[in-house]
Every structure is written in C-alpha cells, then in structure tokens.
Amino acid sequence: MNPRITLATAGRVLGQLRHDHRTAGLMLGVPLVLLTLLWWMFEAQPAVFNSIAPALLGIFPFTVMFLVTSVATLRERTSGTLERLLSMPMAKPDLLLGYALAFGLFAVVQAGLATVLLVYVLDLQLAGPVWALVLVAVVDALLGVALGLFVSAFAATEFQAVQFMPAFVLPQFLLCGLFLPRDQLPPVLEAVSNVLPLSYAVDAMQHLTQVSELGGQFARDIAVVAGFVVVALALGAATLRRRTP
C-alpha cells in the first residue's frame, strides 16, 4: 500500500470524469431531477414525500456509483490498463481505494447537492441532523462503488455489466422496506432483506426522519453498511489477478 499511488489513482479517475462532462453532469443532475419529480408527485401528501425521499436519497448514489464503477472497472480490465497497472508497483488496495476515494468525493458533492435541494428547497422535515443525511448517502455511494468493483469481475462485456444493475440492485430496492415495511414481508423475504446491505441504508435514512437522537440503532445501521463495503472491497481485490491464464 502506498498513499502516493492511491491519491494518484483517485486523481486520475476524477480527471477522466472531468473530461466527460456529460457523465459527470448526469451523475450530479439526475438525482436532483428525480427527487423534484417525487416531490411534485406527492404535492398533496407531503407526509408521504417526507417518508420516501430520504430513502431514495440513499438509493440514488448507490445505484449511480454501482453502474459507473462496474463499467469503469470493466474498461480497465478489457483495455489492458489493469494488466499494465498490476505489472507496475501497484498494490491492489491502492487501485480499489483510489476508485473508492474518487467516487466517494464525487458522492459527497452529489449527496450535498441533493440534501440542499431536499431540506432547503423541497422542505423535507428531518428529525435528525442534516450532516447525518449526507453521511448515510456517502456510505451508500461507497457501497455502490465496492459492489460495482466486485461485480465487474463477472462481466465480460459492458452489456453484461449494465445488466448486473437490475440483477443486483433492483431486488435490494424491492426488499429494502420502501414498498412494504420489512417486518410485514413474508418471513423468508424478511430474512433475505436482513442480509441485504441496502435494507440497512434505508433503515438509517428513515431513522433520521423520525428520531432526533442518533442512538445505537443508527450507528449499527451505518456500521453494517460500512462492513458490507469492506467485505465487497476485499472480495473485489481477490478478483484482481496479476497472473492470468
């Protein structure tokens, strides 16, 4: 591990995004548009908006980062740059943390913009502190990065990588408690939702709208999501091979 290489990698990933204005714009802009759309849908029922919007604020960065990371990593694999980097003095965690750092920074901006919109323009009522909302959104984004890195190992083409989005993200989206509270799911599905990381992300977000004190429950939810991030990054590192057949 070498901080110089990790930072250089993060800088390189951000540099690539800077040359791709459209992707950067979509990553930042689309969540804002969707949240505004949601607010408009529930114009007559602000209480519903209030309960759904934070959960979506957690889901957007997760989904966006999952897609961007899985495609970006797949490109590294297929273009040969990954092989070149691994033939250089680059430790695998340097590469993974470089990506996580770059997209994590991007997620801070994304979550910051979305939070400003939600709290100060669309009048979301939060019981907990605003910074906690940003924190959960950023941890969710990192979860997307980590899962995207891992999953890209199983895709041979960009078409396949994009298909992992519905395969990995939508089931979590359905079972995370947004459509039906998790304790009202059939017992088997409730058990499944208990081992899916997005459930904890949404729990933490909903907690913020209801309770002003950030207790052990909130800390536990964040810790679970962070744990998934670490495990997915470790699994992702295991899929990077210096020697290939």
Partner 1 sequence: MVKSTERVEGRPEARHADRDRPAIVVDGLTVVRGGRTVIDDMDLRVETGTLTGILGPSGGGKTTLMRAIVGVQQVAAGRIDVLGEPAGSPDLRRRVAYVTQAPSVYPDLTVRQNLRYFADVLGAPRADVERAIEEVDLADHADDLVGRLSGGQESRVSLATALLNSPELLVLDEPTVGLDPVLRRDLWDLFHRLADGGSTLLVSSHVMDEAERCERLLLVREGRIIADDAPARLLERTGTDDVEHAFLSIVEEDER
For position 11 contacting partner 1 by CB under 8 A, the verdict is yes
Of residues 32 and 105, the one with the C-beta less far from partner 1: 105
Which among 81-89, 124-132, 156-164, 209-217 is the span making contact with partner 1, rule CB under 8 A? 81-89
CA distance 151 to 172: 15
Residues in the chain: 245
Check: CB of residue 73 under 8 Å from CB of residue 152. Answer: yes
For position 9 contacting partner 1 by CB under 8 A, the verdict is yes
CA distance 75 to 24: 17
Residue from 37, 87, 184, 216 binding partner 1 (CB under 8 A): 87
Q: In the complex, what is the shortest distance from the CB of residue 218 to partner 1, in angstroms, rounded to a whole number?
A: 39
For position 239 contacting partner 1 by CB under 8 A, the verdict is no
Q: In the complex, what is the shortest distance from the CB of residue 50 to partner 1, in angstroms, rounded to a whole number?
A: 40
For position 16 contacting partner 1 by CB under 8 A, the verdict is yes
CA distance 35 to 223: 26
For position 88 contacting partner 1 by CB under 8 A, the verdict is yes
For position 21 contacting partner 1 by CB under 8 A, the verdict is no
For position 84 contacting partner 1 by CB under 8 A, the verdict is yes
CA distance 208 to 222: 12
Q: What angle do CA 123, 125, 127 make, to 5 degrees?
A: 150
- How many Cβ atoms from other residues are within 10 Å of residue 164's Cβ? 21
- How many Cβ atoms from other residues are within 10 Å of residue 28's Cβ? 16
- How many Cβ atoms from other residues are within 10 Å of residue 243's Cβ? 5
Residue from 43, 44, 80, 212 binding partner 1 (CB under 8 A): 80
For position 12 contacting partner 1 by CB under 8 A, the verdict is yes
Which among 2-10, 44-52, 119-127, 129-137 is the span making contact with partner 1, rule CB under 8 A? 2-10
For position 22 contacting partner 1 by CB under 8 A, the verdict is no
Largest CA distance in the chain: 60
Residue from 86, 111, 136, 145 binding partner 1 (CB under 8 A): 86
For position 8 contacting partner 1 by CB under 8 A, the verdict is yes
Amino acid type, 170? L
CA distance 160 to 96: 21
- Give the residues lining the site for partner 1 (CB under 8 A): 4-5, 8-9, 11-12, 15-16, 19-20, 79-81, 83-90, 242-245
